[in-house]
């Protein structure tokens, strides 16, 4: 298994690692990594790994079998042998942009309290699909609500609950098509705001900023009709 260092510290940009395996497709498995694998609408991280006098560009990161995380090279190259000690370096600007957008989308799910049927994240924008019949009337009002929470610089933190606790609080799950992963006995939650003044609390395995003030100014983009009960809302970073 690969230890997910990003889960404990989303701000770690570099880390040591040891190669524990290769995939048939030419991917690299490490014993621990700061690279987040594609999942939950968030893209896999990119960056590089270095060892001895060699360096390899990593194009993306994906989930492997079990708890393995696979680093995917940008081009076919000789891979570091199993047992090699490497230094990992994230494309930090891209990752941090993903963190800003991801946290902003959690705020959007508060501004529009409907079931979420899909979503995606990129470095400059994100989107959520909502189970709602009509498009919101006032995009500027939604943006103002979001930017108010950004200006409040609320704390963003993670915590864990048991699967039984989640079952007792089903309203925490906002996504209709994707359910939190089960089997490990516990579920990771992301909380925006302090415990006594929570803005949002929902299951999530992705990376987030530590405070909403780091998101920066937001604006609402296109709102598209994707079905009788489906509206796609785009959210953009303004800086």
Name, in order, each residue with C-beta under 8 angstroms of 156's C-beta and a sequence gap of 6 or more: 103, 190, 191, 192, 208, 209, 210, 211, 212
Average pLDDT, integer, range 111-129: 95
Q: What is the pLDDT of residue 81?
A: 97
* Tens digit of each residue's pLDDT (9 = 90 or more) over 194-210: 988 999 999 999 999 99
**Domain end residue (candidates: 90, 120, 135):** 90
* Tens digit of each residue's pLDDT (9 = 90 or more) over 45-97: 999 999 998 999 999 999 999 999 999 999 998 999 999 999 999 999 999 99
Assess whether 68 and 111 both reside in one domain: no
**Domain end residue (candidates: 33, 55, 90):** 90
Checking if the pLDDT of 211 tops 70, the result is: yes
CA nearest to 223, candidates 124, 108, 123, 144: 108
What size, in residues, is the chain? 239
Assess whether 188 and 85 both reside in one domain: no
Q: What is the pLDDT of residue 137?
A: 83
| Domain ranges, residue 36 | 3-90
Output the pTM of the full model.
0.94
Q: What is the pLDDT of residue 120?
A: 96
CA nearest to 237, candidates 219, 221, 224, 214: 219
Checking if the pLDDT of 146 tops 70, the result is: yes
Q: Please state, for a pLDDT cut of 70, what percent of the chain lies above it.
A: 99
């Amino acid at each position: 298994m690969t230890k997910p260092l990003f889960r404990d510290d989303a701000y770690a940009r570099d880390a040591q690692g040891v190669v524990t395996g290769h995939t048939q497709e030419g991917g690299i498995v490490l014993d621990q990594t700061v690279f987040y694998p594609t999942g939950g609408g968030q893209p896999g991280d990119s960056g590089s790994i270095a060892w001895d006098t060699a360096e390899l560009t990593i194009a993306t990161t994906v989930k492997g079998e079990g708890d393995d995380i696979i680093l995917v090279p940008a081009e076919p190259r000789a891979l570091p042998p199993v047992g090699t000690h490497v230094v990992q370096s994230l494309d930090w600007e891209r990752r941090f942009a993903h963190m800003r957008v991801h946290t902003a989308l959690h705020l959007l799910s508060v501004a529009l309290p409907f079931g979420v049927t899909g979503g995606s994240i990129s470095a400059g924008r994100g989107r959520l699909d909502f189970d709602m019949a009509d498009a919101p009337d006032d995009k500027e009002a939604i943006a103002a609500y979001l930017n108010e929470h950004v200006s409040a610089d609320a704390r963003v933190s993670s915590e864990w609950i048991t699967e039984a606790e989640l079952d007792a609080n089903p309203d925490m799950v906002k996504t209709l098509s994707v359910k939190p992963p089960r089997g490990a006995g516990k579920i990771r939650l992301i909380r925006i705001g302090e415990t006594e003044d929570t803005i949002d609390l929902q299951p999530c395995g992705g990376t987030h900023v530590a405070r909403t003030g780091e998101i920066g100014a937001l604006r609402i983009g296109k709102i598209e009709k994707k079905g009788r009960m489906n509206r796609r809302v785009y959210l953009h970073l303004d800086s």
